[in-house]
A and B are shown apart, each in its own frame.
Chain A
Amino acid sequence: MSKFSAITGNGAIAEAMRQISPDVVAAFPITPSTQIIEDFAKFAADGKVDTELITVESEHSAMSACLGASVAGGRVMTATSANGLALMWEMLYVASGMRQPILVAVVNRALSAPINIHCDHNDSMGARDAGWIQIYAENNQEAYDNMLMAPVITEHADVRLPLMVCLDGFIISHSIETMQLEDDSKVKDFVGEHTAYHALLDTDNPSTWGSLDLHDYYIEHKKGQQVAMENVIPVVEEVSERFYQEFGRKYELFESYCLDDAERVVIAINSVAGELKEVIDEVRDAGEKVGLLKIRLFRPFPYAEIAAALKNCKIVTVLDRSTSMGAYGPLFVEICSALYDADPRPMLYSRTFGLGGRELLLNDIRDLFEESKRYLDEGKIEKRSYFLNVRGG
């Protein structure tokens, strides 16, 4: 039976991993994702999972071991954060290029330097071009639910791509929240058995993996990856619908909160959506038409669907919790692309916040909505882009 529990985000991810019981987990723990691997190591030691747990000496090795185990025919997972993900970089591209459905729980944390253990999204955003599916979560429940859906999405025959489930470091990973854990057997039924695909260990049907591929075929294989990415959107919709039928929690490509008739919209990723919803309720009570579009699937990016969802709005504030130095934030750039063909096109601007864990309080969000109101009334955007809550800003 499903039960309500008070559990941390990391604990929720570890529970999902226990329930899925993958063939192999290879990991090198790093703050703030450490508890995932600590909990999972305990499950492995207590015989609660059938998993081969490989404790490696670095994240590069963790991803390499995951890759080897996946090519050998296993269902494979790991967890990491920030500099750990950065050290996996080389192997991230190998994993996606070899179309291995590896899962990584990315507990979002700022990259060094300066050294900082708190939340921002520069780690996973930096990996947005690595050919991995990226699904983001507002809270513990969503992180857990996304983790349960992840193997079904990645192992789908039309997809076969690796996937990152992203959640906010500390804010979610270390916070206890009331959430619903599902029954082990129902989860196992939902996730299903892993079917190996041209497994290297299937010696009766030998196959070659990771071969040289020059100008004769490389670009065709990249085109194949692109097509697989495009296939992800209907698969995520289908798997989310099946999840809803099974467990009663509804997920779409993105979440629309008070969006249908909203004139002023904020677009954001992850935990800040909770604070935004809280303030939106207040501002709505005062009679103003404000709303939220919360990103869930960032890779592939659902351009057309997002443009359609924004067709009635007049002004859009995009909140990026990461930076591309010398350029606009990654989310803002995508929203600009999505809205280029929109007619009429809403006013659009970017705000960067929360780097290295800097808080965005409810009053800051109230100010944001005041600002969008002023911009809309005046019909002009005073500042296209700036950092919120920063000294000298």
Chain B
Amino acid sequence: MSKYFEVRWHGRGGQGTVTGAKSLAEAVQGTGKCVSAFPDYGPERRGAPVRAFNRFSDNRIRIHTPILAPNVVMIVDTTLIGTKSLVEGVGESTIFVVNTEKSAAETKSLLGLTTQTVHTVPANHISYRLFKREIPNSAMMGAFARACPEIISLDALIEESEKIFSHLLAAELVGKNVEAIRCGYNEVQTL
């Protein structure tokens, strides 16, 4: 179904994957698109696999069903690689954005992908550098902007994120998150 651009996030409970999908939706919303963001709620346990979803469209989004054939798969936690759900419903042109320090070639092979484009980003590494802890969302969003400029450009992502974060965070942290977005964008490797 080409009228919706669909993104599926995979992470683990406690990593902020659901928040990542929500933040991305808010940022894309700011550019004038219609958006949706919703999690796949199961028992809420730290460390358990979590999925979250985004739809983006120029028109109103009417459907709420889980995303079965994603345009983009965002993998926040690489320890999930090897689980079937990551590649479920994936097509020849599905784009992968993976939080890893491994090379794009190695990641692609680990995921068992062939025709698909894989973007790797060391989002945890970026996060430790900037925040001294593991909060990979902002770097993942930066990598998303690199992978899908037709949905949101880096400049628009930074502008919208500054607005959103400034309601929630101190000025210093807003700046660091913007830096994380920029690093995420710049440190992408693509294959």
Contacts and interface: CB of A to CB of B under 8 A. Distances in A.
B174 interface: no
B133 interface: no
B25 interface: yes
B13 interface: no
A170 interface: yes
A233 to B, nearest CB: 27
B108 interface: no
A289 interface: no
A178 B38 CA distance: 12
Pick from A170, A171, A177, A359 the residue with the most CB of B within 10 Å: A177
Contact of B65 (A118, A139, A176, A359): A359
A138 to B, nearest CB: 8
B95 interface: no
Chain A contact-residue range equals: 20 to 34
Interface residues of B, number: 20
A360 B65 CA distance: 8
B34 interface: yes
A176 B25 contact: yes
B64 A274 contact: yes
B35 A177 contact: yes
B64 A6 contact: no
A362 interface: yes
Contacts of A172: 64
Contact of A174 (B25, B29, B39, B68): B39
Contacts of B38: 170-171, 174-176
B26 interface: yes
Interface string B35-64: 111110100000000000000000011111
A170 B61 CA distance: 16
A178 B60 contact: yes
Nearest to A362: B65
Nearest to A282: B1
A178 B28 CA distance: 10
Interface in A136-175: 139, 170-172, 174-175
B66 interface: yes
B64 A176 contact: no
Contacts of A4: 29
Contact of B36 (A5, A178, A275): A178
A361 interface: yes
Given A176-B35, A178-B60, A6 B65 contact: no
Given A6-B26, A274-B63, 17 more contacts: A6-B22, A117-B41, A171-B38, A174-B39, A175-B37, A175-B38, A175-B64, A176-B22, A176-B35, A178-B33, A178-B34, A178-B60, A274-B62, A274-B64, A275-B62, A278-B62, A360-B65
What 5 pairs across the A-B complex have the smallest Cβ distances?
A274-B62, A175-B38, A6-B29, A176-B37, A178-B34
12 contacts: A6-B22, A6-B25, A171-B38, A176-B35, A177-B35, A178-B29, A178-B35, A277-B62, A278-B62, A361-B68, A362-B63, A362-B65
Interface of A: 4-6, 117-118, 139, 170-172, 174-178, 271, 274-275, 277-278, 359-362
